[in-house]
Chain A
Amino acid sequence: DTGVSQDPRHKITKRGQNVTFRCDPISEHNRLYWYRQTLGQGPEFLTYFQNEAQLEKSRLLSDRFSAERPKGSFSTLEIQRTEQGDSAMYLCASSFPSGRLNTEAFFGQGTRLTVV
């Protein structure tokens, strides 16, 4: 396992269509995060899983967004009825939990979404 894998790398979609992205974390990691990065900005936290449980969601995650991690391994992020403002890079990251000691998050290469 060489790292966090995201698919697809690029997605162009028409406004109003639904899209789904996949993230495969590093196999030993049970924490998985989704971030969104718009042009010229730093990544912003969207949501976080520990195993299959979605433990936190940002206010950025509107009701058109849904994330799942059904078996505690890979995760999907779906955007329904896409809008031009959804155009961004969607980054996935994974990490170990370590009790009270924070550990680094390893990032995938991202999925760049363009809504036309």
Chain B
Amino acid sequence: DAGVTQSPTHLIKTRGQHVTLRCSPISGHKSVSWYQQVLGQGPQFIFQYYEKEERGRGNFPDRFSARQFPNYSSELNVNALLLGDSALYLCASSLDRFPGELFFGEGSRLTVL
């Protein structure tokens, strides 16, 4: 069985640009969460989606948005990129929306110049 897959794996953008990151959860998993991991720090929660509805939002500006599609895959969008948005963006899937094991993808490493 395939794990959580994310694309792209690496990307470089300049300040002010827009980025879209994609995630495919493990088959059968209905919940997708997004985390930002700055180098040397723990992951920080950005969004959780369950059954295509937003179920939680972290302390991130409105430049960050996400959605979940009928096949449970998800996109994270970041507008007006800042240097501080440079990080590893991790997608995690789980069976449901309750506390339990999160299965992380390998992440999308974003560099903003």
| B partners with A | no
A residues near B, CB below 8 A?
Answer: none
B residues near A, CB below 8 A?
Answer: none
